[in-house]
């Protein structure tokens, strides 16, 4: 019997009434009548509860006690917002008083309020704080939102001072309008509440009734003019703040109008730089009681009390936000799907981008009207992806048979998920790939089946090679390469997130090697196919010379010209893109293999093994292996890495026995070789990224994310050098096999060197830290 049922039984057995509960349910629906006479049942209630057995939980059968774990609690300091204590100033704060005895003090107060609110925005969005402890802790914000919501229009303060009644109100409405845009991004479901962003609006309506952005902007301009004319230099800081707020109000244009205009973002960067350099936090203070935890105590609130944030001088945060948005908006300029995909691939890979930029990316790319970037249909998009990889001028793509349609639709769905996932926070990013493995695998299987069936009907593609005609499946090849790439991303991201312990690094690096080996084989097939396509067009030119009749010659010439005009360029691009993919895969392959060798050398030293160092009677090394490889356990191709395979691989790499010194030297040489070839490939790719795709050698498609892509490869290059240096350090210990005591004092850790790639941490030999200390 499920535990849940047992529990219900238990509850009722104390005081059982059979069908009572159902009757009470219907009664409860009638509840909520106007309040009337109350009967005190305290005594009876407590008497009834006197002899309850300790196991008793009396509850509604429909109520899951698990929900109870999220409850607040009366008189519990951590869980009762009513216990928040307030100062007299906080209690007596009046929003319709112009605080400050003279005009200068009033200016200082208003400047301080707007300054703090603006920096709170950075605390909220860049530093993951929540609204009630930042922006909503301001009494004016709360007051204006409540009053405006009641009136259904923007209402203003009546203190008699235009600095409060106009300027402060305009600033606050600007900030709230921006918050409304953030709320909309969050509701679009790309980023996660309470993880990427907290939007606890305390039940307040963030201007849902007010759509006129222009009015807010105009009023802010009016306030800037007022401050500048009435306050002169003393008002500079305030007017600069108002300018920042205008930029924030305009930010919604990137979503509402899909604007790629970055003028306002540049302005935001400029203004935030100015403010960052002019720390005036000592100069201005808000009126006492203006910022308070009291909103948590006064309004409806399902959250535990939380102290107010004390923000740093953090104006740089706006610059980060704007810079990251600018990168995302570049996708508007994607000339090919390759460029769009490479932007997605690199923009959020090494540095987690600002939450606004990450939330906007998928919404900007895949629009409300179901188009991609407002230009392409979803079907166009998937065709372009395929064409730019393997499906250029194939028999299948030319005939585009109907049975392909639903599969392409499915492919598009998975691809959307891929695009969306690239914008996730660093942890979700890996989890997304975990899910995608299954999707790509299913798609791969589907495509293979369909292409096989099509081939039987004569719709088939072949590679013409020296060995004759070899069947080629352009669609499945694409799905396979996407799948294996996703698997690789999942595996290597685990290192970045510190998910693997050193003892697991052998199997993970070996698996990465194995996957890149499989990917290489797939790329090779595609390249041969593209080559044979190019050769056949060239072959046509030769044919023309051999043909005797003018008529036939002309016919072939026309055909040749047509192919040169329509297909040749794309085929060449594909070939060069494949060259890039080859190099990129080779880098991963070589680095992974070098790490496998490094592990074997450390294992020879006797300070690490692939077995868990845990002395556990609860589990086994096989179970741990199987659990670690669980995400891949259902993947058909490439084969799962079983525990047995791994063990035999380990034996192959093992340095032991009579030949150990030869084997050791061998391992070191192999390592050097792999690292050298990785280094060469990295240099080539870096040069080609810098030179742009017209370099005649490889096409990287990184025009829009040049810096980010270069950064990625620079980090890899640093890692290569660090692995070489680290290997030398380790080698110095190999001269004589160390004592048992030495081994006991040393261990291996995974460490990312400064500027190195987080996906390939070093296997460093370190002295153990005494944990007791």
Q: How far is the CB of 72 from other proteins (least distance, A)?
A: 5
Minimum CB–partner distance for residue 475 and other proteins (Å): 24
Q: Tell me which H or E stretch contains 290.
A: none
User: Looking at beta carbons only, is 233 or 770 nearer to other proteins?
Assistant: 770
Phi, psi angle pair for 750, to nearest 5°: -95, 125
The separation between the first and the last C-alpha atoms of the chain, rounded to the nearest angstrom, is 48
From the number of C-beta atoms within 10 Å of its C-beta (0-12, 13-18, 19+), residue 385 rates as: buried
* Closer to other proteins by Cβ: residue 115 or 196: 196
Interface residues for other proteins in 557-616 (CB under 8 A)? 612-616
Answer whether 671's CB lies under 8 Å from 730's CB.
no
Quick one: 210 or 500, whose CB is closer to other proteins? 500
Provide the minimum distance between the beta carbon of 625 and other proteins in the complex, in angstroms, as a whole number.
8
Structure tokens at 565: 């005009």
Q: From residue 440, how far is each of 290, 414, 552, 585 by CA, in Å?
A: 54, 7, 47, 19
Which listed range, 221-229, 413-421, 627-635, 710-718, lies at the site for other proteins (CB under 8 A)?
627-635
Q: Which two tokens stand for residue 476?
A: 């499945």
Measured from the CB atom, the residue of 425 and 446 that comes closer to other proteins is 425
Instruction: Closer to other proteins by CB, 300 or 370: give it.
Output: 300
The interface region with other proteins, picked from 35-43, 330-338, 526-534, 693-701 by CB under 8 A, is 35-43
| Per-position DSSP letters for 664-724, written without gaps between them | HHHHHHHHHHHHHHHHHHHHHHHHHHHH-GGGSS-----GGGHHHHHHHHHHHHHHHHHHH
Question: Could you tell me which residues come within 8 angstroms of residue 435 by beta carbon, excluding any fewer than 6 positions away?
Answer: 417
Rounded to whole angstroms, how far apart are CA atoms 358 and 367? Answer: 15
The distance of closest approach from Cβ of residue 156 to other proteins in the complex, given in angstroms and rounded to an integer, is 24
With H, G, I as helix, E, B as strand and everything else as coil, classify residue 138.
strand
Ramachandran class of 46: left when φ > 0, alpha when ψ lies in -120 to 50, beta otherwise: alpha
CB of 471 to other proteins, least distance (A): 31
Asked if 215 interacts with other proteins (CB under 8 A), we say: no
Pick 281 or 633: Cβ nearer other proteins: 633
List the interface residues with other proteins, window 216-275 (CB under 8 A).
none
Q: What is the three-class DSSP state of 763?
A: strand
Q: Can residue 27 be called a binding residue for other proteins (CB under 8 A)?
A: yes
Q: Report the SS3 class of residue 469.
A: strand
**In the complex, what is the shortest distance from the CB of residue 187 to other proteins, in angstroms, rounded to a whole number?**
20
- The answer to whether residues 608 and 502 touch, using CB atoms and an 8 Å cutoff, is yes
The residues pairing with 463 across neighbouring beta strands, listed in sequence order, are 470
* Residue 36 near other proteins by CB under 8 A: yes
Does position 768 interact with other proteins (CB under 8 A)? The reply is no
**Which residue in the set 379, 521, 627, 662 belongs to the binding site for other proteins (CB under 8 A)?**
627
To other proteins, the closest distance from the beta carbon of 300 in angstroms equals 4
**Which 362-421 residues touch other proteins, going by CB under 8 A?**
none
* CA atoms of 263 and 275, how far apart (whole Å): 18
Nearer to other proteins, 198 or 481 (CB): 198
Please give the Cα distance from 397 to 389 (Å, whole number). 12
749 binds other proteins (CB under 8 A): no
Distance, in Å, from the CA atom of 680 to the CA atom of 675, rounded to the nearest integer, reads 9
164-203 footprint of other proteins as x/- string (CB under 8 A): ------------------------------xxx-------
Please identify, using beta-carbon distances, which residue of 195 and 225 lies nearer to other proteins: 195
Residue 400: which region, alpha, beta or left (left: phi > 0; alpha: psi -120 to 50)?
left
Measured from the CB atom, is 504 or 674 closer to other proteins? 504
Largest CA distance in the chain: 115
DSSP letter string, 477-519? HHHHHHHHHHHHHHHHHHHHTT-S-HHHHHHHHHHHHHHHHHH
Nearer to other proteins, 7 or 460 (CB): 7
Structure tokens at 328: 């995302």
φ, ψ for residue 688 (rounded to 5)?
-70, -35
CB 20 to other proteins: min, Å: 6
State the binding string over 38-77 for other proteins (x if CB under 8 A, else -).
xxxxx-xxx-xx--xxxxxxxxx--x-xxxxxxxxxxxx-
Choosing from 298, 367, 553, 572, the residue that interacts with other proteins (CB under 8 A) is 298
Minimal distance, residue 131 CB to other proteins, in Å: 15
Rg (CA), the chain: 33
* Distance of closest approach, residue 534 Cβ to other proteins, in angstroms: 42
Least distance from other proteins to the Cβ atom of residue 762, Å:
19
Smallest distance, other proteins to C-beta of residue 191, A: 11
Handedness of CA 345, 347, 348, 349 (dihedral sign): positive
> In angstroms, what is the minimal distance from the CB of 633 to other proteins?
6
Q: How many residues bind other proteins (CB under 8 A)?
A: 102
Stretch near other proteins under the rule CB under 8 A, chosen from 214-222, 536-544, 563-571, 630-638: 630-638
Q: Which is nearer to other proteins, 57 or 521 (CB)?
A: 57
- The answer to whether 538 and 644 have CB atoms below 8 angstroms apart is no
Q: How far apart are CA 199 and CA 34, in angstroms?
A: 34
288 vs 304, which CB is nearer to other proteins? 304
The verdict on 623 binding other proteins (CB under 8 A) reads yes
Give the residue with the Cβ less far from other proteins, 76 or 690. Answer: 76
Least Å from the CB of residue 216 to other proteins: 30
Helices 569-604, 502-546: axis angle to 10 degrees equals 150
Per-residue interface string for the shown chain with other proteins, residues 633-662, x marking contact by CB under 8 A = xx----------------------------
Footprint on residues 449-508 left by other proteins (CB under 8 A): 497-501, 504
Which parts of 70-129 interact with other proteins (CB under 8 A)? Answer: 70-76, 78-79, 81-82, 128
> Please, what sign has the CA dihedral across residues 115, 116, 117, 123?
positive
Residues 6+ apart with CB under 8 A from 730: 598, 601, 602, 605, 765
Query: Minimum distance between the CB of residue 194 and other proteins, rounded to whole angstroms?
Result: 8
If the CB atoms of residues 400 and 620 are measured against other proteins, the closer one turns out to be 620
- Counting other chains too, the contacts that 331-337 makes at CB distance below 8 Å and 24 or more residues apart are 331/361, 331/364, 331/365, 331/373, 331/704, 332/258, 332/260, 332/364, 332/373, 333/260, 333/704, 334/373, 334/704, 335/703, 336/384, 336/388, 336/701, 337/381, 337/384, 337/385, 337/388
Instruction: Kindly state the smallest distance separating residue 7's Cβ from other proteins, in Å.
Output: 6
Residue 304 engages other proteins in binding (rule: CB under 8 A)? yes
Stretch 423-442: interaction string toward other proteins, x if CB under 8 A = --xxxx-xx--x---x----
- 149 near other proteins, rule: CB under 8 A: no
**Candidate segments 208-216, 265-273, 301-309, 558-566, binder of other proteins by CB under 8 A:** 301-309
- Whether the ω angle into residue 541 lies within 30 degrees of 0, i.e. cis, is no
Nearest distance in Å: CB 314, other proteins: 16
* Least spacing, CB of residue 631 vs other proteins, in Å: 7
- CB of 195 or CB of 256, closer to other proteins: 195
21 makes contact with other proteins (CB under 8 A): yes
Q: Which is nearer to other proteins, 54 or 232 (CB)?
A: 54
Stretch that binds other proteins, among 5-13, 538-546, 689-697, 757-765 (CB under 8 A): 5-13
Q: Which is nearer to other proteins, 632 or 712 (CB)?
A: 632
């Amino acid at each position: 019997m499920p535990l849940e049922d047992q529990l219900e039984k238990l509850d009722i057995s104390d005081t059982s009434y059979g069908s009572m509960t159902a009757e009470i349910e219907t009664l409860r629906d009638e509840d909520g009548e106007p309040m009337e006479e109350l009967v005190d049942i305290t005594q009876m209630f407590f008497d009834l509860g006197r002899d309850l057995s300790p196991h008793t939980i009396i509850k509604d059968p429909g109520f899951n006690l698990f929900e109870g774990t999220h409850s607040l609690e009366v008189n519990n300091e951590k869980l009762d917002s009513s216990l928040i204590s307030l100062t007299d100033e906080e209690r007596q704060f009046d929003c319709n008083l112009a605080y400050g005895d003279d005009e200068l003090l009033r200016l200082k107060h208003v400047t301080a309020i707007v300054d703090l609110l603006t920096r709170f925005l950075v605390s909220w969005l860049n530093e993951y704080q929540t609204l009630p402890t930042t922006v909503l802790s301001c009494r004016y914000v709360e007051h204006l939102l409540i009053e405006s919501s009641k009136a259904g229009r923007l209402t203003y303060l009546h203190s008699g001072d235009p600095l409060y009644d106009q300027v402060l109100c305009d600033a606050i409405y600007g900030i709230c309008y921006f918050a409304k845009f953030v709320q909309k991004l969050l509701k679009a479901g790309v980023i996660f509440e309470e993880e990427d962003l907290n939007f606890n609006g305390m039940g307040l309506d963030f201007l849902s009734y007010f759509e006129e952005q222009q009015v807010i902007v105009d009023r802010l301009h009016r306030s800037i003019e007022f401050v500048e004319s009435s306050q002169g230099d003393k008002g500079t800081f305030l007017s600069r703040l108002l300018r920042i707020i205008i930029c924030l109000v305009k930010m919604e244009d990137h979503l509402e109008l899909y604007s790629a205009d970055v003028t306002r973002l540049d302005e935001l960067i400029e203004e935030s730089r100015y403010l960052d350099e002019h720390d005036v936090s000592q100069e201005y203070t808000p009126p006492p009681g203006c910022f308070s935890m009291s909103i948590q105590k006064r309004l409806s609130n399902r959250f535990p009390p939380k102290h107010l944030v004390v923000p740093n001088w953090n104006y740089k945060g706006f610059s980060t936000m704007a810079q990251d948005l600018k990168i995302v908006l570049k996708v508007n300029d994607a000339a090919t799907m390759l460029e769009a995909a490479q932007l997605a691939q690199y923009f959020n890979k090494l540095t987690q981008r600002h939450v606004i930029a990450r939330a906007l990316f998928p919404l900007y790319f895949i629009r409300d009207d179901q188009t991609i970037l407002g230009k392409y249909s979803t079907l166009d998009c998937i065709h372009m992806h395929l064409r730019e990889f393997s499906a250029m001028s194939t028999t299948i793509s030319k005939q585009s048979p109907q049975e392909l349609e639903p599969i392409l639709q499915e492919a598009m769905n998975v691809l959307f998920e891929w695009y969306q996932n690239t914008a996730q926070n660093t942890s979700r990013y890996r989890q997304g790939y975990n899910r995608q493995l299954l999707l790509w695998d299913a798609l791969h299987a589907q495509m293979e089946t369909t292409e096989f069936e099509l081939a039987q009907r004569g719709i088939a593609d072949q590679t013409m090679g020296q060995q004759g005609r070899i069947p080629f499946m352009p669609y499945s090849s694409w799905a396979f390469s996407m799948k294996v790439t996703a698997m690789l991303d999942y595996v290597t991201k685990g290192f970045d997130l510190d998910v693997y312990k050193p003892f697991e690094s052998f199997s993970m690096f070996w698996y990465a090697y194995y996957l890149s080996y499989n990917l290489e084989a797939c790329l090779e097939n595609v390249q041969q196919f593209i080559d044979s396509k190019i050769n056949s067009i060239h072959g046509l030119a030769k044919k023309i010379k051999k043909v005797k009749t003018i008529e036939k010659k002309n016919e072939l010439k026309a055909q040749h010209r047509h192919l040169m005009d329509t297909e040749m360029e794309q085929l060449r691009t594909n070939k060069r893109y494949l060259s890039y993919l080859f190099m990129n895969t080779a880098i991963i392959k070589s680095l992974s293999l070098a790490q496998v060798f490094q592990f074997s050398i450390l294992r020879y030293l006797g300070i690490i093994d692939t077995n868990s160092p845990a002395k556990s009677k609860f589990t086994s090394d096989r179970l741990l292996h199987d659990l670690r490889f669980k995400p891949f356990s259902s993947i058909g191709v490439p084969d799962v890495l079983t525990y047995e395979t791994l063990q035999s691989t380990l034996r192959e790499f093992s340095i032991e026995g009579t030949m150990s010194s030869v084997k050791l030297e061998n391992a070191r040489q192999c390592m050097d070789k792999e690292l050298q070839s990785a280094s060469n490939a990295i240099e080539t790719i870096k040069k080609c990224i810098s030179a742009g795709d017209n370099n005649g050698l490889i096409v990287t498609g990184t025009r829009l994310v040049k810096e980010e892509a270069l950064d990625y490869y620079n980090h890899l290059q640093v890692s290569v050098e660090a692995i070489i240096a680290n290997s030398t350090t380790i080698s110095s210990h190999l001269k004589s096999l160390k004592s048992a005591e030495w081994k006991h004092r040393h261990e291996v850790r995974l460490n990312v060197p400064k500027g190195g790639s987080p996906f390939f941490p070093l296997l460093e030999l370190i002295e153990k830290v005494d944990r007791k200390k």
